[in-house]
Amino acid sequence: DAKTTQPPSMDCAEGRAANLPCNHSTISGNEYVYWYRQIHSQGPQYIIHGLKNNETNEMASLIITEDRKSSTLILPHATLRDTAVYYCIVRVGYSGAGSYQLTFGKGTKLSVIP
């Protein structure tokens, strides 16, 4: 799976949009971009994923650059409950009989400030 690079920490004012960047310059054509978050001492929570088109769901938006070498997760109106570590992961969608695993790095610790 392609390696990702994320800033170790970010701050965001409550009510403002939080934009979390991720670099994945070695991503392959069949690899998806996934975002998860982990609130302290809980299991990670899936947020969103995409291949090349921008995606939006009830939690967030995912913007992937045209060359697919980087992406941005957008939380449109951050709340205090969004304070968590956010993980950006890239991997193939399905590898048949092989592994189907996600490699988590250290992520970005997002602090939403009142």
Partner 1 sequence: DGGITQSPKYLFRKEGQNVTLSCEQNLNHDAMYWYRQDPGQGLRLIYYSQIVNDFQKGDIAEGYSVSREKKESFPLTVTSAQKNPTAFYLCASTVGQGPGELFFGEGSRLTVL
Q: CA 111, CA 80: separation in Å to the nearest integer?
A: 8
Of 15 and 101, nearer to partner 1 (C-beta) is 101
Instruction: Identify the residue among 20, 22, 34, 70 touching partner 1 (CB under 8 A).
Output: 34
Instruction: Identify the residue among 1, 21, 23, 44 touching partner 1 (CB under 8 A).
Output: 44
The backbone torsions φ and ψ at residue 14, rounded to the nearest 5 degrees and listed phi first, read -55, 135
Compute how many other C-beta atoms are within 10 angstroms of the C-beta atom of residue 5.
12
Instruction: Identify the residue among 14, 19, 23, 49 touching partner 1 (CB under 8 A).
Output: 49
Of 96 and 114, nearer to partner 1 (C-beta) is 96
Work out whether 83 is an interface residue with partner 1 (CB under 8 A): no
Work out whether 57 is an interface residue with partner 1 (CB under 8 A): no
Residues 6+ apart with CB under 8 A from 19: 72, 73, 74
Among 71, 79, 69, smallest CA distance to 50 is for: 71
Question: Which stretches of the chain bind partner 1, using CB under 8 A?
Answer: 32, 34, 36, 41-46, 49, 51, 87, 93-94, 97, 99-107
